[in-house]
Amino acid sequence: MLYDDEILWTINTDNTINVVVKDGTEIYSSLPLNETGTYPYKIAGVSITFDNVGYIYEKLGNELTIFDGFGQALDGRKLIFSWLQQ
């Protein structure tokens, strides 16, 4: 499923992630942070923890990919986030 501009994660410098899910967006329940809200996160090395679950992340250029602890893409597919500077 492609969520192009339907889900926006804003990663803040105060260690929170603001999540906005457009109304009517159909979301897999296994996708983390799948509801609109503000969530705390913690980064340690190559690990990011949010919603009390740790994940491995990789940042290449302006893309962020999040994997589960087994090296698989988080939801069985590759999640790509574009980093936007404001």
- Strands 37-44 and 16-21 turn out to be antiparallel
| 2 domain residue, yes or no | no
Asked if residue 53 lies in contact with residue 42, where contact means CB atoms within 8 angstroms, the answer is no
Helix (H/G/I), strand (E/B), else coil: 37? strand
- Give a yes or no: residue 31 inside a domain: yes
pLDDT digits (tens, 9 = 90+) for 24-56: 888 877 778 888 999 999 999 988 888 888 888
In a domain, 41, yes or no: yes
Is 50 inside a domain boundary?
Answer: yes
Instruction: Work out how many domains the chain is built from and give that number.
Output: 1
Residue 1 domain flag: no
Q: Note whether residue 64 is domain-resident.
A: yes
Is the pTM above the cut of 0.75? Answer: no
For residues 61 and 58, give the distance between their C-alpha atoms in angstroms, rounded to a whole number.
10
DSSP 80: E
Q: What is the pLDDT of residues 57-85, one digit of tens each?
A: 888 887 888 877 555 555 555 566 776 66
Domain containing 15 equals 7-82
pLDDT digits (tens, 9 = 90+) for 1-14: 445 567 888 888 89
Token pair in block for residue 86: 């404001």
